[in-house]
Amino acid sequence: MADTIALGQPTVGDEELDAIRAVFDSGWLSGAGPTCQSFEARFAAEVSGTDHALATSNCGSALHLGLSVLGAGPGDEVVVGDYTFPATGHSVAWTGAKPVFADIRPDIWSADPASVEAAITPRTVGIIAVDVFGQPADYDELRAIADRHGLWLMEDAACSAGATYKGRQAGSLADIATFSFHGRKGITAGEGGALTTNDADLAAHARKLHTYGIAPAISREGSTDLPLPVFDEAGYNYRMSDLAAGVMLAQLDRLQTLLANRRRVAAWYGELLAAVEQVAAPVALDDREHPWQSYVVTLAPEVDRGAVAGYLRQHGVQCNFGTYASHLQPVYGFEGSLPVSADLFHRHLAIPMHANLTQSEVERVVATLKDALTAARSN
């Protein structure tokens, strides 16, 4: 059998190894050190339109920090775009607040503004929009809703590094935004995350909470006396290590090349899939730049997704479902129907997408998908 085509694959090499070596040489390997500071400055500059970036251990911790400094807590409700990995809903639950899920647009799968507004109650304090697979949600409409109801707005930009919305960078589209640098993301240190905001007070509070409730140790580096931090608020250990920050600096150097490669792969897929029956390619809207963290197709309702996925895997093409219809997960005890999200949860199929794919590999993926559909129809 031919070599397996990976669903996702990081792009790493000597540059990342050199960055790790530089951190070793610095003597500061732990979290929130000088390399983290350098990464935060670079990332804030990359996300033009935002002033503050905070490196975190992962996107879930960034979400929790954001919700905490925005004041979400017991008795509150937060409206969340439904189609997302449950880290989004979990982060709301971690604060003691209740996630209330909103249905999604059938084309780009982010929160439907009408469903968001319908989900607002007197207990609602904010909205989390999710940039599904990286394509930004409808922030103008969502901001108008938030302002009309006196709510804050968060951007779950876990997949969105390098994306834009009407010329504005993902990460600058809400009161607070959060990113993931997990191994499947467009830029990665294996794990890691970031929080971005324009609000200096929110940024300072998040920085305090992400180091157990005190200023990071680097703030006391070089002191000639013996400062004793005082804990007046219970925080968390949500810091990114300087080793991961070194890798992220190298990844930022690659970002534009990686985005261009992913967009080229998406264009190849779009051309090839146009002639494939029972499969709809994902939609990329003209007013936003899609970073293509994943490439997720929609199968026709009559297609047996499990059979198609099994065939692909047996023939060396990795695949997976898209993401979760969060409201269907029993942990949330959600009562209600979100039909668009529920339907797509059962019809989406993620096929290989990463910056290292060649045109011949993309052609093989699509050819194998066509064969899988034929085999599924004959069973």
Give the Cα separation of 183 and 186 in Å (integer).
Answer: 8
* 370 belongs to the catalytic site: no
Is the alpha carbon torsion for 57, 59, 65, 66 positive or negative?
positive
What's the sign of the alpha-carbon dihedral 76, 172, 88, 56?
negative
And the tokens for 11? Answer: 């792009």
The number of residues in the chain equals 379
Any bridge partners for residue 159, and if so which?
none
Give Cβ neighbours of residue 51 (< 8 Å, ≥ 6 apart): 44, 197, 198, 200, 203
Please choose, from the candidates 165, 43, 188, 192, the residue with its C-alpha nearest in 3D space to the C-alpha of residue 110: 165
CA atoms within a 13 Å half-sphere pointing along the CA-CB vector of 106: 5
- Nearest alpha carbon to residue 242 among 69, 28, 56: 28
Of the listed 98, 185, 208, 370, which one is catalytic? 185
List of residues 6+ apart from 330 with CB closer than 8 A: none
R_g of the chain computed on alpha carbons: 21
The tokens describing 39, both together, are 């990464």
Asked if 132 contacts 110 with a C-beta cutoff of 8 angstroms, the reply is yes
Burial class, 378, CB count within 10 angstroms (exposed 0-12 / middle 13-18 / buried 19+): exposed
How many angstroms separate the CA atoms of 300 and 272, rounded? Answer: 17
Q: So which residues are the catalytic ones?
A: 185
